[in-house]
A and B are shown apart, each in its own frame.
Chain A
Amino acid sequence: MDSQGEVTSLLTAWGRGDQNALNQLMPLVYNELHRMARRAWSGLDQGNTLQPTALIHEVYLKLAGSENASYQNRCHFLAVASTAMRQILVNHARSRHTVKRGSGKIALSLDDVQPAVHQEAAEVVALHEALERLQAIDARKSRVVEMRYFGGLSIEETAQALGVSVITVNRDWRLARSWLIREMKGEGA
């Protein structure tokens, strides 16, 4: 079976509730995310203008192929890939966050020599943890945040992937954001 066929059947199996299919799918998604990102932004691919928010769509087209792309599978894929994007970032941020930044010395410089991902490590970890608490209260809202924030999906794409209306996603998004910001502030203070 070619890799496109493999991904398609794994997605279909996962859609039927086969958890094992997800385990086989994840490494393929990880690999392709890495490969695509390096190709897009390391300057090897002349004239590429891929936006980070379009990354998982490109990965889907690559993995599933346009012919095999069923609507259902695509929705499942966007969910899997958003989770993968979250894991990648959180794992890295956690390893960074252990090295505590700032020791009371004042250096309010605009151009810190740290990459953005290191500067935001504490926030990423805090968001991830707050999101886990939100999941216990309202699973759909935590999915919305995961897809929007970590996956980079638009409101419309998120609505499609979750099979709910745009109005619902808008509402979920707004309440979830307020809730998360409050949680994260409460923690940091």
Chain B
Amino acid sequence: MTPQPDWQEIERLFNATVDLPNHERQALLDSASAPVRAEVESLLKTDDQAFFAVPPVHLTADLLERQPGALNSGQFVGNYRVESLVTRGGMGEVYLARDPSGIPIALKILRRHLIVSEQAIDRFETEARATSALHHPNIVAVRDSGESPAGLFIAMEWVEGPTLRLLMDAGAPDTAQAIDLCGQAARALAAAHAAEILHRDIKPENIILRNDGVLKILDFGLARLSGPVRLEVEATGASGTISGTLSGTLLYMPPEILRGETATTASDVFSLGALFYELWAGRHPFAGETPLDVFEAIECRLVAAPSTLRAGIPPEIDTLILQMLDRDPAWRPAACEACDVLSRSSGKS
């Protein structure tokens, strides 16, 4: 190992140069010994880089508060009595709770002490607003939203059943069930689009098949009437990787969104098309090893017809899925047109 250059010298040079513009730094750097200079140059490179998405003190606060459990059963949030924890997200939790008449509801809570970006609040409020404006049997219903000492909350209809992700992982549904699921999802999307609301994050994790067979679309957290998708790229310290969190999920993102264009109803149709493809063909149309592979696949890969991967897919559905995945948004069918194809198909089978 080479001897370490003198730390005090490094500190002096760093402090002297860090606030100078590049061209003024040079003379000072030139005057230092080679090892000190190399060290300071590498430190100047990382000056001002982002570190943690959530500051450690917030993480500790969260941890301290969670033990033994966040909200206790029996505790009230607004008018709702908490029963049990369902799942935890980065900034909050979902609980099973009961309204005053004993009806079960899903209580989604955004914890105030974990909120470090205004965006999270926006997202939460958007979800409450967008979903409560929609009334459709296939869209999860928002009963109420507000603020309580525990945080911001949304009270939603309680839906019990697997997500489409779980369902697909368990094996391919038969033709009649697949047509039924696609039809319900398309009708939900058509209803949202008729109300001029885009979902913008359609994926199998956001769709639940209730145990009685009724499909429900959830998570309108990214919903918006129109406008470009915000690209939030943040460097997260240790791994040095860019955790490119596009708002939404890369695998279901249409090419126009990847190019930074404005989302339209056709963008939701594309995402739903990718989901249909997966459901029918048993494999994702743009699967890849790395985010770059997925990017390229969405941009350029020729999508094989689902029928080439699995037998027994009705030809009109084969065609519909390919049309929904058209790279040109203008050529994709509207959600209500997809509904028509699916309901005709369902009449036949």
A interface residue count range (under 10 / 10 to 19 / 20 to 34 / 35 or more): 35 or more
Question: Would B88 and A120 count as touching, CB distance under 8 A?
Answer: no
In the complex formed, the residue of A with least CB distance to B75 is A43
A87 to chain B, nearest CB (A): 10
* Cross-chain pair count, CB within 8 angstroms: 190
Known interface pairs A116-B114, A182-B42, A185-B238; A108-B249 also in contact (CB < 8 Å): yes
Q: Tell me whether B113 and A41 are in contact (CB under 8 A).
A: yes
- Look across to chain A and name the residue whose beta carbon is closest to the beta carbon of B123: A110
The answer to whether residues A46 and B149 also contact, given A110-B245, A110-B248 and a CB cut-off of 8 A, is: yes
- Interface mask (A77-103 → B, CB under 8 Å = 1, otherwise 0): 000000001101100100000000000
A138 and B59 contacting across the interface, CB-CB below 8 Å: no
A138 cross-chain contacts in B, Cβ below 8 A: 7, 11
Check A40–B46 contact: CB distance below 8 A: no
> Contacts of B55 on A, CB cut-off 8 Å?
52, 149, 152
Picked from B57, B90, B244, B291, the residue with its CB within 8 Å of the CB of A111 is B90
Stretch in A18-26, A65-73, A123-131 touching the partner: A123-131
- A123 pairs with B236, CB closer than 8 A: yes
Query: Which residues of the partner chain A approach B54 to less than 8 Å between Cβ atoms?
Result: 116, 120
Residues of B in contact, count (CB < 8 Å): 73
B71 within 8 A of A: yes
Q: How would residues 18 to 47 of chain B score, 1 for a CB under 8 Å from any chain A CB and 0 otherwise?
A: 100000000000000000000000111111
Q: Mark A24-41, 1 if CB is under 8 A from B, else 0.
A: 000000000110111011
Give min CB distance, B338 to chain A, whole Å. 24
Q: Is the CB of B52 within 8 A of A106?
A: no
Task: Considering the complex, give the chain A residue whose CB is closest to the CB of B232.
Answer: A110
Interface residues of A (CB under 8 A from B): 33-34, 36-38, 40-53, 55, 85-86, 88-89, 92, 104, 106-117, 119-120, 122-124, 126-127, 137-138, 149-152, 171, 174-175, 177-182, 184-185, 187-189
Task: Name 6 A/B residue pairs within 8 A (Cβ), A-sorted.
Answer: A36-B64, A52-B58, A86-B56, A110-B248, A180-B51, A182-B43
